[in-house]
Structure 1
């Protein structure tokens, strides 16, 4: 069985995180995750559940989405080492390395959507 590029691990005082099982080069695709979309009516119900913490906006609609795979588990960092792109044709989220990620390093994304965006995140507590 082929070893996967990434794995999930518990982080003390932070929950879970996604880590590199090997070195991942800048520009390399880390993961392609399918999306489950839901309507605004469904979103209203989801906002009352734990899934609300894992919802991504789907930019060209008023709907939301949940990203499968490890997509909804990547932790936030202002100085992230990965980024995500929405692929509207395939209804997938594509995660790519924005710098070299070393084996054993946590893979993080900037929840603002841009690796260089340092605006304060106010909808959850940023833990280090």
Structure 2
């Protein structure tokens, strides 16, 4: 049902071949957990663009397996993500109907309505 394709200036993105109804779990991605001490190293690599904050105090990182780390950001997303730390997964859920061949997007800030600038205050040089 899901596939990866070119998404303009965003590079690769996740798309759906079939219609997805609102409130549908699109994907449940297991994660690779990384401890806080690894973050300073990750932040100097391309992985910086693909990890989620993780843990009880959000001081760790998680790389979502499956397609989880490839979903692109939008301030008007059609999906959201939610953590299930007990099962060590990130779920991606449709928040509106998604049409066939439409890109599935999430708001990287966590809340679909959060219009804050991304990564505010983070200095990163590739």
Q: 1:99 aligns with which of 96, 101, 121?
A: 96
Is the partner of 1:66 in helix, strand or coil? strand
Report the counterpart of residue 111 of structure 2 in structure 1. 114
Given that 2:84 and 2:91 are in contact with CA atoms closer than 8 Å, whether structure 1 keeps it comes out as yes
User: Is residue 30 from structure 1 mapped to residue 26 from structure 2 by the alignment?
Assistant: yes
Q: Return the TM-score normalized by structure 1.
A: 0.87
RMSD: 1.5
**Matched residues in 2 for 1:14 and 1:64: separation?**
22
Is the partner of 2:9 in helix, strand or coil? coil
Given that 2:55 and 2:85 are in contact with CA atoms closer than 8 Å, whether structure 1 keeps it comes out as no
Shift of 1:60: 1.0
User: Is residue 88 from structure 1 mapped to residue 85 from structure 2 by the alignment?
Assistant: yes
Report the counterpart of residue 75 of structure 1 in structure 2. 72
**Matched residues in 1 for 2:38 and 2:115: separation?**
31
**Matched residues in 2 for 1:122 and 1:45: separation?**
17
| Uncovered stretches (5+) of structure 2, i.e. residues with no partner | none
Report the counterpart of residue 13 of structure 1 in structure 2. 9
| Uncovered stretches (5+) of structure 1, i.e. residues with no partner | none
**Matched residues in 1 for 2:9 and 2:39: separation?**
29
**Matched residues in 1 for 2:14 and 2:62: separation?**
20
Shift of 1:45: 1.6
